Amino acid sequence: MLGEMGIVERFYSALMREEVKPLEPLGDKVWLTHLAFDCARRSILETTYLKGIRPRSIIRSWIGRKLHELNVLGKEMEITLEHDGVVGRIDEYDPENKILLEKKTTTFTPREITPITFRQTEYEKWLLEKNGREVRKCFVLYIDFVNDAVRAFEVNPRDSQTIGNEIKERKSRILDARKWGILPPRTPFYLDSRGQLLSCSICPTFHLCYLGEEAVPPELVYLEEEEI
């Protein structure tokens, strides 16, 4: 007979089946979101292992995914595009008004766009343009589902040439690390305007990164930065 614990077990099992997907073999392709990270090491770890996940995080992840299903601009959603080995999924695009919208679900209302999200939005604009879709305006919409607040920011991207060069450089760094079995060095931490540590504090592969050399799988070896 099903008891209270059984109901909880079934809840988590149902959630895990929806939220945890097997790792996809990427070959010589790179996900756009991984290019936007400051830390190439995270990109390698995220595509080598399933992420560590806590019950609270998985519930938030499910809420976030459901909120992403809301069609804010009322036009195209979840468009998967590829150019030159970079694959990305665009949350929303309005082809008539040439608007790109990146949606983020959060547990606090940010005062500014994080550098990673800013860069991700720039890269998405680049990807749309490379697929023949003009972009005149880019926005990031933060949906704070803990404090019931919503805030939008307009992104003013750098010029396309600069963005394209940066993507190329980051992509080859990740592909080289994959090809040669190199685990890239940890990226130096930085502080946002609220004095919060980014990069490592939000990294889902933190546990793998800091476990030490014994935790490194055979195909990955540590090298000092200058050796890469």
Which member of 32, 34, 36, 41 binds ligand SF4 (CB under 6 A)? 41
Residue 99 vs 209, nearer CB to ligand SF4: 209
Q: Would you count residue 187 as binding ligand SF4 (CB under 6 A)?
A: yes
Residue 45 has a CB neighbour count (10 Å cut-off) of 22
Q: Is 203 in the site for ligand SF4 (CB under 6 A)?
A: yes
User: Whose Cβ is closer to ligand SF4: residue 152's or residue 221's?
Assistant: 221
DSSP per-residue codes, 19-61: H--PPPP-TT-EEHHHHHSS-HHHHHHHHHSPPP--HHHHHHH
SS3 5: helix
- Please tell me the distance from the alpha carbon of residue 219 to that of residue 197, in angstroms, as a whole number: 30
Q: Is 206 in the site for ligand SF4 (CB under 6 A)?
A: yes
And the tokens for 224?
Answer: 């000092």
Please identify, among the stretches 41-49, 58-66, 84-92, 108-116, the one whose residues bind ligand SF4 according to the rule CB under 6 A.
Answer: 41-49
Instruction: Output 108 or 189, the one with its CB closest to ligand SF4.
Output: 189
105: three-class secondary structure by DSSP = strand
Report the interface residues with ligand SF4, using CB under 6 A. 39, 41-42, 45, 186-187, 199-200, 203, 205-206, 209
